[in-house]
Amino acid sequence: MKRLNLALTLCLCFGFASTAQAQDMTWRTLNSHIIALCRQGDYDQAIQAAQQALQMAEQGCGPNHPLVALSLNNLALLYKTQGLYDQAMPLYERALEIKERDLGKDNASVALTLNNLAALHRSEGNLSKAKSYYKRALKIKEKDLGPNHLSVALSLNNLAELYCIQGKYKTAEPLYQRALRIRETQLGPDHISVELSLSNLAKLYVNQEAYDQAEPLYTRALIIQEQHLGPNHQVVAATLNNLANVYAHLNQPERASGLLLRAQRIESTSAE
């Protein structure tokens, strides 16, 4: 829930900052209130406020203004967090139409809405539709931002995850590998975002029973996690368990046992 709340807050804050000069003070105040409600976990009231913000934008700017697209996106995100996918979908679709009309179909902002639609279709189990949106978002980002932009890495990761859900690991592998290279180049080899790519790629190899390929990736991910999160974090414990599983399959029971014991100590301490 905390991560979900943070995502919503960042979305609202980003939109607020990017359109601040065009906003009426009342609209800005209302969206600040929405952020506060989300932090409190009061999503029902946040949805009501977001509906009001959308109505205000439509009345003040017209139905096809970029501020309306932002309001639609914010309200759709709130619906999505509550599992109200049927209500979120038409809002994202309308926001996409407005952005395409205002910015053109190949703008990076359009890719963001495509990504939102893809995630929604994925949540509904419509993987074919999600893949179509993810692919289009990736193509736009590569053209508008360049092939080595961090946002491109995110789209590569999203698309690879979708292929993994479908069991298409060979198709997902080069996407994960490319996302890893971009993050290493842009952020450095020890950044926490690099750890995410390492773990994703390691999990892919585990799913293919390629444990010898997963081992160095999990080992490196563990080192990065310990540097950024400390040696006793729950995320570290999860990776210790994953690495122990790999060693067990590589017939190294002593190493596996040592990692499991350490993971258990972390988990028991956190539970106290």
User: Length of the chain in residues, anyone?
Assistant: 272
Q: What is the DSSP letter of 104?
A: -
Indicate if the pLDDT at residue 137 is higher than 70.
Answer: yes
What is the domain range of residue 31? 1-103
In a domain, 165, yes or no: yes
For the chain, what is the mean pLDDT?
90
In a domain, 204, yes or no: no
For residues 186 and 110, membership in a common domain is answered with yes
Coil/strand/helix, residue 272: coil
Q: What is the pLDDT of residue 272?
A: 58
For residues 40 and 53, membership in a common domain is answered with yes
For residues 177 and 248, membership in a common domain is answered with no
Q: Decide if 164 contacts 204 (C-beta within 8 A).
A: yes
For residues 110 and 99, membership in a common domain is answered with no
Q: What is the pLDDT of residue 79?
A: 95
pLDDT, one tens digit per residue, over 199-251 is 999 999 999 999 999 999 999 999 999 999 999 999 999 999 999 999 999 99
In a domain, 170, yes or no: yes
Indicate if the pLDDT at residue 155 is higher than 60.
Answer: yes
Coil/strand/helix, residue 107: coil
Q: Decide if 130 contacts 119 (C-beta within 8 A).
A: yes
**Using CA atoms, how far apart are residues 139 and 118, in angstroms rounded to an integer?**
14
Q: What is the DSSP letter of 22?
A: G
Q: What is the DSSP letter of 167?
A: T
In a domain, 203, yes or no: no
Q: What is the mean pLDDT of residues 165-184?
A: 98
Indicate if the pLDDT at residue 8 is higher than 80.
Answer: no
Name the domain boundary from 153, 174, 198.
Answer: 198
In a domain, 263, yes or no: yes
Could you tell me the two tokens for 55? Answer: 């109505």
Name the domain boundary from 103, 121, 143.
Answer: 103
In a domain, 49, yes or no: yes
Give CA separation, 27 vs 20, 34, 53, 73, 250, in Å.
10, 11, 6, 15, 59
pLDDT, one tens digit per residue, over 43-100 is 999 999 999 999 999 988 899 999 999 999 999 999 999 999 999 999 999 999 999 9
Domain of 222, CATH number, reads 1.25.40
Angle between helices 253-271 and 234-249 (to 10 degrees): 160
The percentage of the chain sitting over the pLDDT mark of 90, rounded to a whole number, equals 82
Q: What is the pLDDT of residue 17?
A: 39
For residues 97 and 2, membership in a common domain is answered with yes
Indicate if the pLDDT at residue 41 is higher than 50.
Answer: yes
For residues 86 and 147, membership in a common domain is answered with no
Name the domain boundary from 66, 83, 103.
Answer: 103
For residues 9 and 82, membership in a common domain is answered with yes
**Using CA atoms, how far apart are residues 68 and 54, in angstroms rounded to an integer?**
6
For residues 118 and 78, membership in a common domain is answered with no
Give CA separation, 122 vs 28, 133, 161, 197, in Å.
32, 10, 10, 20
Instruction: Write the CB contacts of 268 (distance below 8 Å, at least 6 apart in sequence).
Output: none
Could you tell me the two tokens for 237? Answer: 């414990």
For residues 243 and 162, membership in a common domain is answered with no
In a domain, 192, yes or no: yes
Indicate if the pLDDT at residue 2 is higher than 50.
Answer: no
Indicate if the pLDDT at residue 132 is higher than 90.
Answer: yes
Domain of 57, CATH number, reads 1.25.40.10
In a domain, 52, yes or no: yes
For residues 129 and 90, membership in a common domain is answered with no
Which of 268, 257, 263 lies closest to 231, judged by CA?
263
In total, how many domains does the chain have?
3
Q: Decide if 234 contacts 266 (C-beta within 8 A).
A: yes
